[in-house]
Structure 1
């Protein structure tokens, strides 16, 4: 399975303590590629948010001539989304390992500019504890920071549950405020309107497995380290529906490593002009192992234990659910709606 470059550790000195590592303040990081303190961003430069994602062929063409041959879709995923993910866990406890990803909700397009609200998105079941810890890896912050932990008290209360989807979102405003106060800024990629799958893309998933890739952070114990390493891994697999019903749940068909709950899932889907495009289908929920069958009677063939099955919550469900929790824009009395 392809693994992205080794992940050094980067956060401010205070980020490893609950108090100092808590995002606080009232202004977001100036100059960051993320929304302002109100949670949105306006301006003509935001128009690129809705651009169609590059094709796998484009990503492969951009690779150095002496690079090792890679799968075109793998190359496209890493080109578009290597800095989308952020590993986290219950702080101090080394449990509830998961992956979150940065998502830009397109709120409005008007007068040549776009307004977005930015969130971290993950599996809700991995957010239910008081003290959370993000691992800051290489490429997510500038300038590079000397520590690798960002600890947040009141962690569970920072997340908003999206109905019964099993998904939670956290507005990123406080994370940008925290970075600005300490003299750095986030340098992430985001899943944008152009990369997030549209309903027509999701409709192409049927009972026949569709090759896909999960981009998440595994858990690797390292001698002499206080916490396990969380390297980013691009995991090949497939997605399929549980039946031919287009409303049937979408499943990830291969085993998942610990730490992949909340990871985004990518696939190349066909386009009308005989080309393909890269999309983010949605995110992975923790795999749930079905109840094992009862012991077979004596003399009968032994029954096998059913494999764990992970659900993919797709963007035809995610997009409207996230948009529903996004605050409406405040307008002056003289501005028309």
Structure 2
């Protein structure tokens, strides 16, 4: 669904309110990206951090922390080194996805005397086959919630308003995204089964040239069960 500019601005604002605290900046010694919390059902065991497989595994990996995603104020560090988290990232290069079970993140926080205060992307808005099939070659409004990279190396939370297309099984953002956007979640608006307009999370941004492939949630769900991956 292609929205007019006013509607796109409204969706971007709503996304920041609903899932803004799902998003974390991620970096390694030589790359910037974004990761996000996803909650697969009501069971806390189903919570995971997701990003692009190409980002993780390099030296110096760390998750940045904003004050809004932890409590109490002033206790959490500015960043969490991925070497401190066990279990670590599971990589699934064939699907482009990396998964970090959040049990280790919660243990790390508890040992440090603080708690996570996040808004995971809920499974109820993860795009199913029908939402993906509704995309076409003509382009739909897409919203990428990411931590960009400023000249001073700061990582503000941003919403990129883009266009996404589908060509067969391939879903792609048509323009090149700024630094820091790889791994970020991609959202679209589509009519639901009742004909009402609904928000869906398509998946996450993968690296690309002259645009970016999207790892859709059918690929992500296939690797979410307790699978060791290529670690």
Instruction: Indicate if the aligned counterparts of 1:127 and 1:155 stay in contact, CA closer than 8 A.
Output: no
1:1-337 map, 5 Å: 71-90=9-28, 93=29, 95-106=30-41, 114=43, 116-145=45-74, 147-153=77-83, 158-162=88-92, 164-222=94-152, 228-242=153-167, 245=168, 247=169, 249-287=170-208, 289=209, 308-323=210-225, 325=227
Any stretches of 5+ residues in structure 2 without a counterpart? Answer: 1-6
Question: For residues 114 and 173 of structure 1, what CA distance do their matches in structure 2 show?
Answer: 12
Instruction: Indicate if the aligned counterparts of 2:87 and 2:101 stay in contact, CA closer than 8 A.
Output: no
Q: CA deviation at 1:78?
A: 1.6
Instruction: Indicate if the aligned counterparts of 2:45 and 2:103 stay in contact, CA closer than 8 A.
Output: no
**Deviations 1:159-188 (Å, cap 9, x if unpaired)?**
112250111111111111111111110000
Higher Rg of the two aligned structures: 1
Q: How many aligned residue pairs are there?
A: 221
TM-score (norm 2): 0.87
Q: CA deviation at 1:324?
A: 5.7
More strand by share: 2
Question: For residues 50 and 107 of structure 2, what CA distance do their matches in structure 1 show?
Answer: 19
Question: For residues 160 and 232 of structure 1, what CA distance do their matches in structure 2 show?
Answer: 25
Partner of residue 29, structure 1: none
RMSD of aligned residue pairs (Cα, Å): 2.3
Instruction: Indicate if the aligned counterparts of 1:176 and 1:186 stay in contact, CA closer than 8 A.
Output: yes
Q: CA deviation at 1:123?
A: 0.7
SS of the equivalent of 2:136 reads: coil
Partner of residue 53, structure 1: none
**Deviations 1:288-321 (Å, cap 9, x if unpaired)?**
x3xxxxxxxxxxxxxxxxxx22001111221122
**Deviations 1:47-98 (Å, cap 9, x if unpaired)?**
xxxxxxxxxxxxxxxxxxxxxx9833223212221111110111xx3x2101
Instruction: Indicate if the aligned counterparts of 1:202 and 1:316 stay in contact, CA closer than 8 A.
Output: no
SS of the equivalent of 1:180 reads: helix
Question: For residues 263 and 272 of structure 1, what CA distance do their matches in structure 2 show?
Answer: 27
More helix by share: 2
Question: For residues 86 and 97 of structure 2, what CA distance do their matches in structure 1 show?
Answer: 13
TM-score (norm 1): 0.61
